[in-house]
């Protein structure tokens, strides 16, 4: 793919702060311009303005989810040719099929790794796109450990606010706030490797979406999540 020597623009559309931060950090070694948005509607508007050469897109977001955003993009003349790489913590067959049918070029599973991102970018934009791929794809264990620690530190710094939001949601029976907090926490915890937290969030998210769930049941699952987050906080500061 020929970019006529222009600086490549990459747009990241994801509602999780840690995902946007991670992708920006992952791509900082390359001479690319990275911009981020935290919901689908904002992402669509920014894509029209920026006309990036590549978009990273989460599936579940407020205002306009990833599948619907893809469908809209593929009928807009200015956007329909822009390749899209889906990033998702739950790449089951249904999500993969829906994303592919909507026009996604690649799907990368969370937790993200730099190797997987480089591979996906080169497969979508061409093997010669990242000129220093071979050099940067070989990371020492020390570099990987440092990157993991930085991401976990970033994640830990957000836990107090996340826990307060969960408690507030339960007290006020605010289903929309709880849904947003749990979804963001599901993605960010999976990204940094806390799969048990991500799985609890997935169970809670399913309960929130189910017509058969009640607030007492949801509240109990929230207690389980809060206990797990508190335990994680304790372990992270040791």
Q: Tens of pLDDT along 71-113?
A: 999 889 889 999 999 987 766 677 778 888 888 899 888 777 7
Domains and CATH numbers, the chain: 8-138 (3.40.50.2300), 154-236 (1.20.120.160)
CA-wise closest residue to 89 among 194, 214, 215: 194
Give the model's pLDDT for residue 36. Answer: 93
* Helix 159-172 vs helix 175-191: crossing angle, to nearest 10: 150
Integer Cα distance of 211 and 1 in angstroms: 48
User: What tokens appear for 211 in the block?
Assistant: 């017509």
Identify the burial level of 66 via C-beta atoms within 10 angstroms of its C-beta, where 0-12 means exposed, 13-18 middle and 19 or more buried: buried
Give all strands (DSSP E) within 15-66, no chain letters. Answer: 32-37, 54-58
User: What tokens appear for 68 in the block?
Assistant: 């619907």
3-state secondary structure of 50: helix
pLDDT digits (tens, 9 = 90+) for 187-202: 788 777 888 998 999 9
Are the beta carbons of 197 and 228 closer than 8 angstroms? yes
Give the model's pLDDT for residue 85. Answer: 93
Give the model's pLDDT for residue 139. Answer: 52
Q: How many other C-beta atoms lie within 10 A of the C-beta of residue 124?
A: 17
pLDDT band at 135 (very low <50, low <70, confident <90, very high): very low
Identify the burial level of 227 via C-beta atoms within 10 angstroms of its C-beta, where 0-12 means exposed, 13-18 middle and 19 or more buried: exposed
Are the beta carbons of 177 and 185 closer than 8 angstroms? no
pLDDT digits (tens, 9 = 90+) for 162-173: 999 999 999 999
Is the pTM for the entire model greater than 0.75?
no
Residue 95 or residue 52, greater confidence: 52
Are the beta carbons of 214 and 172 closer than 8 angstroms? no
Residues contacting 61, CB < 8 A, separation 6+: 13, 14, 15, 38, 39, 40, 43, 69
């Amino acid at each position: 793919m020929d970019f006529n020597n222009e600086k490549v623009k990459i747009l990241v559309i994801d509602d999780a702060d840690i995902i946007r931060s991670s992708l920006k950090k992952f791509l900082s070694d390359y001479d690319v311009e990275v911009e981020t948005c935290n919901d689908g509607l904002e992402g669509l508007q920014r894509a029209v303005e920026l006309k990036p050469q590549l978009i990273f897109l989460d599936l579940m977001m407020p205002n306009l989810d990833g599948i619907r955003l893809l469908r809209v993009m593929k009928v807009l003349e200015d956007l329909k040719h822009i390749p899209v790489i889906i990033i998702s913590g739950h790449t089951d067959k249904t999500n993969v099929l829906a994303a592919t049918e909507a026009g996604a070029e690649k799907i990368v599973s969370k937790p993200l790794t730099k190797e997987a991102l480089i591979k996906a970018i080169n497969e979508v934009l061409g093997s010669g796109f990242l000129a220093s791929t071979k050099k940067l794809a070989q990371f020492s264990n020390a570099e990987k450990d440092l990157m993991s620690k930085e991401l976990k530190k970033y994640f830990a710094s957000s836990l107090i606010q996340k826990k307060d939001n969960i408690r507030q949601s339960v007290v006020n029976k605010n289903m929309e706030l709880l849904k947003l907090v749990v979804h963001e926490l599901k993605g960010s915890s999976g990204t940094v490797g806390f799969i048990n937290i991500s799985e609890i969030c997935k169970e809670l998210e399913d309960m929130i979406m189910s017509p058969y769930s009640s607030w007492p049941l949801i509240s109990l699952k929230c207690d389980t999540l809060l206990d797990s987050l508190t335990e994680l906080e304790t372990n992270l500061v040791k």
